[in-house]
Amino acid sequence: MSTTAVVARPADGRDLRAVLAELLKLKHIIGGLVVAPDGLVIAANLPREVQAEPLSALVAALGRELELRGPRLRRGTFPTAVFASVSGSAFLGNTPVGYIVLLGEPRADWDAVRSGLRGALGTVYRAWAG
């Protein structure tokens, strides 16, 4: 009698490191991280010059502020936000387990990145909120 090992594959969206890894394949994205609402880093892949902990604290504060201000502005909760400067952009998305942020080069295509991020957010929502 033979035995076969069964490898359990995590449900789509449950493996946040895999979700981040897929997002990092978007053109001109140079890094990203997944942050819990309290600022704890869940997953990170950042350029050497960017420290995860200070960025995660900022992401948690910005994310919470956007969650609180969305209803006041009559825009509902925020699905994504973009912060831009001459040195690049940060794309922030809200999930049931925290926030996903992607760092983009100045030439990153905002529409393509937001589309990819929205798809990933939907996958995470289906896995964690359902």
* Torsion angles phi and psi, residue 114, rounded to 5: -60, -40
Q: Cα(72)–Cα(108) distance, rounded to whole angstroms?
A: 31
Total domains, the chain: 1
85 in a structural domain: yes
Closest CA to 25 of 128, 88, 126, 117: 117
3 in a structural domain: no
Task: Report the predicted TM-score, pTM, of the whole model to 2 decimal places.
Answer: 0.84
Condensed to tens digits (0 to 9), the pLDDT of residues 28-65 reads: 999 999 999 999 999 999 999 999 999 999 999 998 88
Q: Identify the pLDDT of residue 106.
A: 95
Residue 85 lies in domain: 16-128
11 in a structural domain: no
7 in a structural domain: no
10 in a structural domain: no
Q: Identify the pLDDT of residue 12.
A: 77
2 confidence band (pLDDT: 50, 70, 90): very low
**Contact at 8 Å (CB) between 114 and 40?**
no
Q: Identify the pLDDT of residue 77.
A: 57
6 in a structural domain: no
Closest CA to 111 of 27, 51, 32, 31: 27
**Contact at 8 Å (CB) between 78 and 100?**
no
Count helices and strands (H / E) in the chain: 3, 5
Q: Cα(78)–Cα(46) distance, rounded to whole angstroms?
A: 24
4 in a structural domain: no
5 confidence band (pLDDT: 50, 70, 90): very low
35 in a structural domain: yes
Condensed to tens digits (0 to 9), the pLDDT of residues 57-103 reads: 999 999 888 888 765 555 555 578 899 999 999 999 999 999 999 99
Q: What is the CATH number of the domain that holds 86?
A: 3.30.450.30
Measure CA of the first residue to CA of the last residue in the chain; give whole Å.
39
Q: Cα(129)–Cα(61) distance, rounded to whole angstroms?
A: 22
